[in-house]
Amino acid sequence: MCGIVGYIGKRDAAPLLLDALRRLEYRGYDSVGEATIHKGKLYVKKGRGKIEDVHRELKLDSLPGNVGVGHSRWATHGEPSKRNAHPHVDNSGKVAVVHNGIIENYEELRQFLRDNGYSFSSDTDTEVVPNLVSYFMKQGNGFEGAVRKAVGRLKGSYALGIVSVSEPDKLIAVRKESPLILGLGSGEMFIASDIPAVLPYTKRVIILEDGEMAVITPIRALVKYTDSGKAIEKKPLRVAWTAEMAEKHGYPHFMLKEIHEQPEAIRETLRVSADELAQLCKMLLDAKRIYIVACGTSHHAALVGKYALAKLADVSAEVVISSEFQESCMVDGGTVVLAITQSGETADTLKAVRVAKAGGARVACLTNVVGSSVTRESELVCHTYAGPEIGVAATKTFAAQVAYLLLLAFNLAKMRKCISKVKFDELVAQLQETPNTIDAVFERTEKQIEELAKRYKDAKNIYFIGRGIGYPIVMEGALKLKEIAYIHSEACPAGELKHGPLALIEHGIPVIAAVVPGSARGRMLGNVEEVKARGATVIAIAADNDEEIKRHVNELISIPVTHELLTPLTYISPLQLLAYYIGVERGFDPDKPRHLAKSVTVE
């Protein structure tokens, strides 16, 4: 979580830092700040709230100087407030630090510093860092040496950007278990938590890895091992994303734009190399046991994958929420773990991967971000190509993950001779057609969804039911509604209603039912009747050739007919739109839901 940025060059640092922070705001937005150095003095502005609000009040772009750091916060230690906002400065006002991660031993370090005459003005774990750097500088070390000594005392995870008035021609970046990239410009350099921050300025990036630091001047970024100080030769990557891809293009919010980008995300992802897919198939076929680990929306995509693998390819995979993996899973040399994470930085998923590897498992990953942390932990790296996703709610990356997993299941089914070549070709053709179907879904349903949003915006509870592959669809729909509209929503396997949740159904309560074609459809109609009989208002999403469903429900969202396995791609857009429009009706910012952040880099 938290976004950190840094700049050193010839231009004024503050406006560039502000622009880069705006591009990273999806990582955290409860407070924001910048520090720059000018003529031997450190200047700091910071405040509580979203970037635009703080900027309106403080004019963040008005700090002087050509070097500086900035931070957009997602609070862990200490409430969101001005004094807990970053950058944090040492007692002498000479060293400023921005930090993403958690310093686990900060209490012990605070005590050490207090014993040496230092005091603290925030509740954060971060404030020990500038003071440790200052302490080691007072011991006679230069800026870089002091940073290395200070970092040597830290336990936990950190991406750090540090500047000091003692050496104003340097910006230092340090990474351990929190993402950090260097953007290499011409006569200027950037650091940032994520690539979109630097896209308007450069496409050449270096991805720092754990245990690495960079000593950066306007013309050089020297990467070193943090512990030994030994220089490392790193080849810059040229990123294919453009700054344009990370802009709104006339949409009022990134979330709406990204919902509408799903067809393109699927098209691009289906261009996966045959070699990558073959390697993943082989890895899974060689496995004695398969786990798919993921969180949130990626977990829902994983469930779609599990269903498709079992139904079509006769391959059994257990889907485990990443944070539960170490608590419950058996791992040995015959185990294969597929980690699904759009950001590639989710701490829970990275932990599951490490636990799996320690137990001897082989690991593959599916991620949307080239060079992200999970790629460095995995034997096989697979990519979705959804382009940058800025909205905190995952939308197009879900579609891309599902498309990839379906293609994987089709290929495995063919390899295992569960389906004929003709059937395989037919399924692949249908999958390739889904982007057009989704465009038709937008055409057909968006107005209807806007109306529904007006009608249900004040609902206190909304329940979602589905069966088979309809269940992960409604889980994802319910998650979107929670995070964007702040309405209590629960997804229930429709067959499970009678085992408890049915007791919650009362007159007028909205129940959203995903009625997918296939073997479970008939039983699903029975479940729809059960909730209707208890007074629920049923809104169904169903295939447009399902004549019977019309007689059972209060409102129908009608979707072009597809194969059952493709419904997670075609049914999800109306649910994403519903969450979006209800959130907007209720006056919330769908791109920045409260308490959440895009990239969850703490366990």
CB of 398 to ligand M6R, least distance (A): 8
- Residue 84's nearest CA partner among 93, 96, 76, 92 is 76
| CB closer to ligand M6R out of 478 and 596 | 596
- Nearer residue to ligand M6R within complex by CB, 36 or 346: 346
Which residue lies nearer to ligand M6R by CB, 38 or 592?
592
Sole binder of ligand M6R in the list 342, 384, 562, 567 (CB under 6 A): 342
Helices 13-24 and 51-58: crossing angle in degrees, nearest 10, is: 160
Residue among 374 and 419 whose Cβ is closer to ligand M6R: 374
Strand-pair partners of 184: 189
Question: Which segment (195-203, 231-239, 338-346, 414-422) binds ligand M6R by CB under 6 A?
Answer: 338-346
Could you tell me the smallest distance in angstroms from the CB atom of residue 408 to ligand M6R? 17
Residue 134: name the closest of 126, 143, 125 by CA: 143
User: In a 3-state reduction of DSSP, which class is residue 175?
Assistant: strand
The CB-of-28 to ligand M6R minimum distance in angstroms stands at: 13
CA dist., res. 420 & res. 433, Å (int): 20
Closer by beta carbon to ligand M6R, 342 or else 434: 342
Question: Which range in 124-132, 255-263, 329-337, 387-395 contacts ligand M6R by CB under 6 A?
Answer: 387-395
List, in order, residues 6 or more apart from 244 with CB less than 8 Å away.
none
**For this structure, is 382 an active site residue?**
no
Joined tokens for residue 2: 């938290």
CA 157 – CA 347 distance, rounded (Å):
10
Task: Work out which of 31, 76, 126, 343 binds ligand M6R, going by CB under 6 A.
Answer: 343
Q: Write down the residue that tokens 């060689």 correspond to.
A: 286
Total interface residues for ligand M6R by CB under 6 A: 16
Which of these segments, 127-135, 335-343, 548-556, 567-575, binds ligand M6R (CB under 6 A)? 335-343
If the CB atoms of residues 178 and 341 are measured against ligand M6R, the closer one turns out to be 341
Q: CB 373 → ligand M6R: shortest distance, Å?
A: 10
d(CA 302, CA 196): 26
DSSP conformation letters of 275-305: HHHHHHHHHHHT-SEEEEEE-HHHHHHHHHH
Which listed residue (46, 170, 306, 598) is catalytic?
598
Position closest to ligand M6R via CB? 296
Please state the closest distance from residue 395 (CB atom) to ligand M6R, in A: 7
3-state secondary structure of 172: strand
- Identify the residue among 346, 489, 527, 570 touching ligand M6R (CB under 6 A): 346
Considering 2, 281, 382, 492, which one is annotated as catalytic? 2
Q: Is 392 in the site for ligand M6R (CB under 6 A)?
A: yes
- Least distance to ligand M6R, CB of residue 85, Å: 23
Nearer to ligand M6R, 144 or 476 (CB): 476
Distances in Å between the alpha carbon of 206 and those of 9, 188, 599? 17, 14, 20
Minimum distance from residue 343 beta carbon to ligand M6R (Å): 3
Of the candidate spans 49-57, 119-127, 190-198, 390-398, the one that interacts with ligand M6R by CB under 6 A turns out to be 390-398
Q: How far is the CB of 534 from ligand M6R (least distance, A)?
A: 30
Cβ(159)–Cβ(72) below 8 Å = no
Q: Number of H helices and number of E strands within the chain?
A: 17, 24
Per-residue string for binding with ligand M6R, 464-483, x by CB under 6 A? ---------------x---x
Binding mask 480-499 for ligand M6R (x = CB under 6 A): ---x----------------
Q: Closest by alpha carbon to 317, among 326, 301, 562?
A: 301
- For residue 335, the minimal CB distance to ligand M6R (Å) is 20
2 is a catalytic site residue: yes
* d(C-alpha 65, C-alpha 43), whole Å: 9
164: phi then psi, degrees, rounded to nearest 5 = -145, 140
Q: What is the C-alpha to C-alpha distance for residues 405 and 301, in angstroms, rounded to an integer?
A: 8
Read off the tokens for 302: 């994983």
CB of 342 to ligand M6R, least distance (A): 4
Identify the residue among 65, 406, 600, 601 touching ligand M6R (CB under 6 A).
Answer: 600
Pick 193 or 298: Cβ nearer ligand M6R: 298
Does 393 engage in binding with ligand M6R (CB under 6 A)?
A: yes
Q: What are phi and psi of 364, to 5 degrees?
A: -120, 155
Beta carbons within 10 angstroms of residue 93's beta carbon? 13
Residue 222 β-bridge partners: 215
- Interactions with ligand M6R, residue window 261-300 (CB under 6 A): 295-298
Kindly tell me which of 28 and 168 has the beta carbon lying closer to ligand M6R: 28
Degrees (nearest 5) of the Cα angle 181, 182, 183?
A: 120
d(CA 301, CA 77): 32
Question: For residues 196 and 296, which CB has a smaller minimum distance to ligand M6R in the complex?
Answer: 296
Q: Does 394 bind ligand M6R (CB under 6 A)?
A: yes
Q: Which amino acid is at 311?
A: K
User: Is the distance from CB of 365 to CB of 279 less than 8 angstroms?
Assistant: no
- CA dist 245 → 23, 157, 199, 404, 500 (Å): 12, 30, 9, 21, 46
Q: Please report whether residue 341 would count as binding ligand M6R according to CB under 6 A.
A: yes
3-state DSSP assignment of residue 438: helix
Q: Which of 307, 323, 315 is nearest to 288 (CA)?
A: 315
Q: Which amino acid is at 272?
A: V
Instruction: Name the residues that contact ligand M6R, by CB under 6 A.
Output: 295-298, 341-343, 346, 349, 392-394, 479, 483, 596, 600
Residues carrying an active site annotation: 2, 598
